[in-house]
Amino acid sequence: MKETIQRKLNDSAAARWTALVLVALMMFFGYMFVDVMSPIQALIENQRGWNPDVFGTYAASEYILNVFGFLIIAGVILDKMGVRFTGVLSASMMLGGAVIKFIGITEWFQATGFAEWLNSWWTAFPASAKMAALGFMIFGCGCEMAGTTVSKAIAKWFKGKEMALAMGLEMAIARVGVFAIFSISPIIATKFGTVVAPVAFCTVLLLIGLITFTVFTFMDKKLDSQLGAEAEGESEEEFKFSDLGKILSSQVFWIVALLCVLYYSAIFPFQRYGANMLQCNLDGISAEAASNIFRWFPIGAAVITPFLGNFLDRKGKGATMLIGGALLLICCHLIFAFVLPEAKSPALAYSTIVLLGISFALVPAALWPSVPKIIDEKVLGSAYCLIFWVQNIGLCFVPKLIGSLLTSTNEDNPAVIAAKEAGADFIPYDYTVPLVVFAGFGVLALLIALYLKVVDKKRGYGLEEPNIKQ
């Protein structure tokens, strides 16, 4: 008697890793677009008149719609419509937002009647920044939705297989996108002499990302037909609004959410200003040279994250890793604030950036796999959405706060005043106060991480235990 065993598509290592690459490329290009303007902040101020306050408001715009509820709606769309529909929608939103931002910063747009009307109100915020912020808001909705969609897609394709490794590698690939754009953006801007060129380049890459995810949808549809899923709508945990009260009344949810928002508020907003900070603290080195130093921050995290995830799976120590990551974060920002401006040492800058990358590997590698240990599985999907929502609140307001602090604390700075009066291409801002604020977020994150370890010991969540049980 012959027994026929049907091999599913994700049983093939080549197929499932191809699927991972296709969805990860969308996030890779998305992360490139997020920071395309970060390493050329000085050029934007020179060409479009965006002072740090304007730049901070623009950076905050990525998260505004998510803060006002879109992120939760995105979770509902994903659960109701499935991975394929939501992925294509999110990639399309990223591309559409990028096109609006690209148009807004072009020379052509500055000469239009619409730009003249935009300049007639809120005059401190140029028309180019208004359009860029609008595009960035739409892009931000798509990017956050894409991140959730990709995680769900990986869980589906790697269920019972190398799921932790796949998620770690996807995260690493996305962070390499930050490394790539900090390397490429200043080069493109210098070659073409305009801030428009890097944005145009990344907009084209987002189109490619939409195409790669579309290719993935055909693979995913075939897998669903093999799994017998009903019209692709098979979901691990369907979002229910009735779960919100249960989650929001949980003390441990707020511990994790606050740790998340405080830690990431000292990381992602810092990325917007990091290259310019290095320019200012290293005596006005070029934007390209500063970006070449800063780019090692995300690449260091990308290299280390899969190894830390493997360690967490086999050895545990999740709460300890959170504490260690917060401590490194504090040390790095204080070095940038007080030591680097005096030493003016590129070697010190490189080493501190690498340490910050290790911190950025420690905390996410320990934080996200720990959530299922402390949140009821029934409401896990809803809890993730709400944690991201709380995180986005910080990511929305902190860039604006940092931009305002940078502007206000440098109003009487003689070097800044002289550079502006001379019409210099580079403005030597003093970053001490913003960096101390970043370190302050790290201190608060450290206190919450210590409290979480106490709570874990008392209630037995198992944060210090390995994920793989012997």
Q: What is the CATH number of the domain that holds 173?
A: 1.20.1250.20
Cβ atoms 319, 454 nearer than 8 A: no
pLDDT at 234: 46
CA dihedral over 440, 444, 450, 453, signed as positive or negative: negative
pLDDT tens string 316-326: 788 898 999 99
231 lies in some domain = no
Query: Do residues 369 and 312 touch, judged by C-beta distance below 8 A?
Result: yes
Residue 144 included in any domain: yes
Q: Report the 3 state secondary structure along the chain.
A: CCCCCCCCHHHCHHHHHHHHHHHHHHHHHHHHHHCCCHHHHHHHHHHHCCCHHHHHHHHHHHHHHHHHHHHHHHHHHHHHHCHHHHHHHHHHHHHHHHHHHHHHCCHHHHCCHHHHHHCCCCCCCCHHHHHHHHHHHHHHHHHHHHHHHHHHHHHHHCCCCCHHHHHHHHHHHHHHHHHHHHHHHHHHHHHHCCCHHHHHHHHHHHHHHHHHHHHHHHHHHHHHHHHCCCCCCCCCCCCCCCHHHHHHCCHHHHHHHHHHHHHHHCCHHHHHHHHHHHHHHCCCCCHHHHHHHHCHHHHHHHHHHHHHHHHHHHCCCHHHHHHHHHHHHHHHHHHHHHHHHHHCCHHHHHHHHHHHHHHHHHHHHHHHHHHHHHCCHHHHHHHHHHHHHHHHHHHHHHHHHHHHHHHHCCCCCHHHHHHHHCCCCCCCCCCHHHHHHHHHHHHHHHHHHHHHHHHHHHHCCCCCCCCCCC
Contact status, residue 363 vs residue 326, Cβ threshold 8 Å: yes
pLDDT value of residue 4: 41
Place of tokens 């002499």: 193
Q: Domain boundary residue among 226, 248, 274?
A: 226
Between the CA of residue 219 and those of 22, 124, 162, 423, 434, what are the distances in Å? 10, 49, 19, 55, 47
Q: Which domain holds residue 73?
A: 11-226
Say yes or no: 188 and 261 in one domain: no
CA dihedral 335→339→345→350, nearest 10 degrees, is 0
Residues of the chain whose pLDDT is less than 50?
A: 1-5, 229-237
The answer on 468 and 338 residing in a single domain is: yes
Look at residue 2 and tell me if it is in a domain: no
48 and 126 fall within a common domain? yes
Pair 295, 442 in one domain = yes
Gap between the Cα atoms of 20 and 10, Å rounded: 11
Q: Which amino acid is at 178?
A: V
Distance CA 129, CA 106 (A): 11
Residue type, 423: G
Rounded CA separation 263/360 (Å): 9
**Burial zone of 259 (CB within 10 Å; 0-12 exposed, 13-18 middle, 19+ buried):** buried
Tell whether 367 and 418 lie within a shared domain. Answer: yes
- What total of structural domains would you count in the chain? 2
Q: Considering the domain boundaries, does residue 80 fall inside one? A: yes
234 in any annotated domain: no
Domain boundary among the residues 226, 258, 293 is at 226
| pLDDT for 463 | 83
Residues 284, 404, single domain; the answer is: yes
Q: For 459, list phi and psi in degrees, rounded to 5.
A: -105, -10
Decide if 175 is inside a domain. Answer: yes
48 plus 127 within the same structural domain: yes
| Number of Cβ atoms within 10 Å of the Cβ of 360 | 28
Q: How many residues are listed for the chain in this entry?
A: 470
Same domain, residue pair 188 and 251:
no
Whether residue 165 is found in the same domain as residue 32 = yes
Tokens of 2: 């012959």
* Pairwise CA distance, residues 358 & 180, whole Å: 18
Q: Whole-angstrom Cα distance, residue 345 to residue 360?
A: 23
- Same domain membership, residue 384 and residue 283: yes
Residues 265 and 357 both lie in one domain: yes
Model pTM? Answer: 0.77
- Is residue 403 included in any domain, yes or no? yes
Shared-domain flag, residues 369 and 421? yes
Which tokens is 294 given?
Answer: 């800063």
